[in-house]
Structure 1
Amino acid sequence: MKQDAMPAASRDTELAASIEAMRPALLRLANLQLRNEAWAEDAVSEATLAALQGLHKFTGNSQFKTWVVGILKHKVLDQLRLHAREQQVQSSDDDDQDMDDLVFQPDGHFREMPQEWADPADQLQRRQFFEVLETCMDHLPGKLGRVFLMREWLGLDTEAICQEIGIAPTNLWVMLHRARMRLRECLQLNWFGNLAK
């Protein structure tokens, strides 16, 4: 988007609408990194406010999403510093969350089966499928989850993700492959596998 292509007020209105449209993806990214919904909400609210107040600073030299995610990164770091004493120590990224709070039974099966199974294209639109998909994404280990969301939900390019995470492009592709394979296994076990029974 060129800055001189439209009046400043129209440009700012359009960018503000873009920020609002990005909010769910920003929340998901912040929650994945902070593992605390309240902290994630605070980080996204602060990032949104900072972006809205600083729209005049966006020069258009990068993608708008990249600029907003950069602001969110700093707000996530602020939340981590603010809550450093409260944050619980986790033994590893692969630790499971409390199963009572998830949609899965302790044996790994989905708690509520879908009402019916029809054409897969139609089923993708069903709320239950997306609940399972979101839960599977929440179970991705920290770094795999971060790169997957940055690529698939925020639409960041390889260079931006590698710079943000501090990895080489080949490592990124391996991590994305692993994330997709874990999602596939999770969906097979907890969605498609249950439908075949």
Structure 2
Amino acid sequence: MAAPSESPELNEQLRLQMLKFATLQLRDPHMAEDAVQEAMLGAFCYARSFNGRSAYKTWVFAILKHKIADELRKRKRLATVSELSDREDRQFEETLFNQHGRWHKEARPVRWSSPDDNLEDERFWEIFEACLNGLPASQGRVFMMREFIGLESAEICTELALTVSNLNVLLYRARLRLRECLENRWQRQGDATC
């Protein structure tokens, strides 16, 4: 299966999506642009190895993911604790839990209908991406570093100058927000437009 290299519009759309992702992870538009360029050049150079077992976009993003992971492992950039928005997160958690740490009745998780079908549904991934983009930047960044790029906790903590406790709090809050967003935008509304 050939890569869609003959469509400049598709390649530009893909490049913009990759740039958005790389910028979120690297926090430097110039470095992000470099990583995207290297990934796209790698995809072009190794186009013959693309066998069509996955979507072209998935294949190119995998190349980008490795470029970002390599860059993050090389750098020793420090992130300040002031980037963490504790007050906003505490207010968000108070809307979900009571003072005893139990779910408020209206915020309890709902049972998801046929998750296997949802995985195949393209609309689900569009909503997931919108929910991910709605996360506070610090939460979205650590979630993507852990779940998409696949960095270990120690690597993330070193890169962002976080303690393991801070990392776990950010991941916990990101997962809570994603769960709530997916329930509100996907499970409760089904295929209805958000």
Q: TM-score, normalised by structure 1?
A: 0.49
